[in-house]
Amino acid sequence: MKKIGLIGGITWQSTQLYYQYLNEAVNREMGGSHSCKLILESVDFEEISQKQSKGDWDSLNREFAEIGKRLEVAGVEIILIGANTMHLCSESIKEATNIPLLHIAEATGEAIVSKGMDKVLLLGIKYTMGLDFYKDILKTKFDISTLVPSEADQELVHGIIYKELSKGIISPESRRVYRILLKKRKIWVLKGSF
């Protein structure tokens, strides 16, 4: 079993989910009482979000490269970033380390293809929806078309993530907003997903 280096979940809410899902996946695969070998470096979401809003990606690239180096020194064999947008720093981590980094868009593309789909709606913070880094991987590596909400709807989604989901709040009104966005784009989800 490889030792995983997990860079935050960027918010502690998502970090706990990544940790849980990684352990559940290892246990499903190996059985018994197995759990994943993992080293976690958590980051302060407030600091990250301030740098994002200022467009200070150079600082974020340096910071994430340093985190990658520390994880490598600690003996991890693969790095995961527990957030979509922070994959904008993935190349800096790859350049600074000698271990593989599993890119979330590639894993997502494989999952989408395995379900027989070729078009998806991308929801996330405004940087994930508005920049091309995620959409480009889905298109070039998997021939998946990616839709995004209108700019006004992107602001709604971004606000819900920052003001609610990052704090563990899942409100009925926000669920309703997400459902409306899915209907606007004629995207249907499996029962129970929302």
| 14-73 pLDDT, tens digit each | 999 999 999 999 999 999 999 999 999 999 999 999 999 999 999 999 999 999 999 999
Bridge partners, 119 (sequence order): 145
Residues 137 and 88 in one domain: no
pLDDT of residue 174: 93
pLDDT bucket at 185, cuts 50 / 70 / 90: confident
Torsion of Cα atoms, 71 then 74 then 75 then 78, to 10°: -10
Residues 84 and 121 in one domain: no
As a whole number, mean pLDDT of residues 114-138 equals 92
Residues 13 and 38 in one domain: yes
Residues 88 and 123 in one domain: no
pLDDT bucket at 186, cuts 50 / 70 / 90: low
Residue 179 lies in a domain: yes
Residues 28 and 87 in one domain: yes
pLDDT of residue 190: 41
pTM of the model: 0.87
pLDDT of residue 191: 37
Residues 79 and 10 in one domain: yes
Residues 67 and 128 in one domain: no
Residue 189 lies in a domain: no
Residues 90 and 178 in one domain: no
pLDDT at 194 over 60: no
The alpha carbons of the chain give a radius of gyration, in whole angstroms, of: 17
pLDDT at 183 over 90: no
What CATH number is given to the structural domain containing 123? 3.40.50.1860
State whether residue 67 is helix, strand or coil: helix
Residues 126 and 87 in one domain: no
Residue 191 lies in a domain: no
Average pLDDT over the chain, rounded to whole? 91
Total structural domains within the chain: 2
The last residue of one of the domains, among 48, 73, 102, is 102
Residues 98 and 22 in one domain: yes
Residues 92 and 128 in one domain: no
Secondary element (H or E) of residue 119: strand 119-121
Residue-number span of the structural domain to which 80 is assigned: 3-102
Determine phi and psi for 120, rounding to 5 degrees: -140, 160
What's the one-letter identity of residue 122? L
